[in-house]
Structure 1
Amino acid sequence: MTSVRYSKDHEYVRVEGEEGVVGISHYAQSQLGDIVFVELPELGKVVEPGQEVAVVESVKAASEVYAPVSGAVIAVNAELEGNPALVNTAPEGEGWFLRLKITNPAELDALMDEAAYKAFVASLG
């Protein structure tokens, strides 16, 4: 079963079994503007919720990407090195940043489902 959860920092984690695919939401990429560079983490890096795992730079600003759940980085999206604009065109698809081996699935309960996230974004005005 695949489910997607969102953080208040606009990261998402798409849960696929014991793994999670992490990226930024459509809302986040729209706020950043044209993405020109993505700095990805090292394979094997162990992260906790709220810890910086990547950096995304746009023509407007640089922004940190935070881990939504604990885990170890088991893959990064090398496509972003040559084509960072994938984050703009498909942020929740081909524009993913990294894949984690989730170490504490209970942390997913602290994140928003899609309906709650949409309401959260709407409340931002």
Structure 2
Amino acid sequence: MTDVPGTGEADQANLRAPNLLYGMAAVKVVFILALLRVFVGPMTKDFFDKELISMPTWEWALCSLTPGILVFLARRPQDWASFAGERNFLRIPLSFYFLYGLAFAVFQGVWILWIAVAASIGTFVGIRYLNGKEAARDH
């Protein structure tokens, strides 16, 4: 009886904000692990004179999906606005996933990395769409 109509939406938005911040933290952790994974292969060759770990393939495709999942979860305008300071960082792992995936898919013939390329392009498109949607809302 004492509930004010519409407060449930505000509570829902307050619950989503920390989860989205955890999602951004997960994207950062996965990116750091992906960078370590890329550089471990050549390091094992330098240290042990043979490559103990090959270059990333399917795991790189999985890592490249994390920014896209985060952008999909933050597709509401108020959620997307909460990422105003993190949007530029989000482009860094996306660019890295895209360039690595494209280079190894084209030059090495690793077909599974086309998933990383497609996921990166899709996430770039999603970011552009959400930024355009936010700009239209502001005007």
TM-score, normalised by the number of residues in structure 1: 0.27
Q: Which has the larger radius of gyration?
A: 2
Larger helix share, 1 or 2: 2
Larger strand share, 1 or 2: 1
Does 1 or 2 have the higher relative contact order (CA < 8 Å, sep 6+)?
Answer: 1
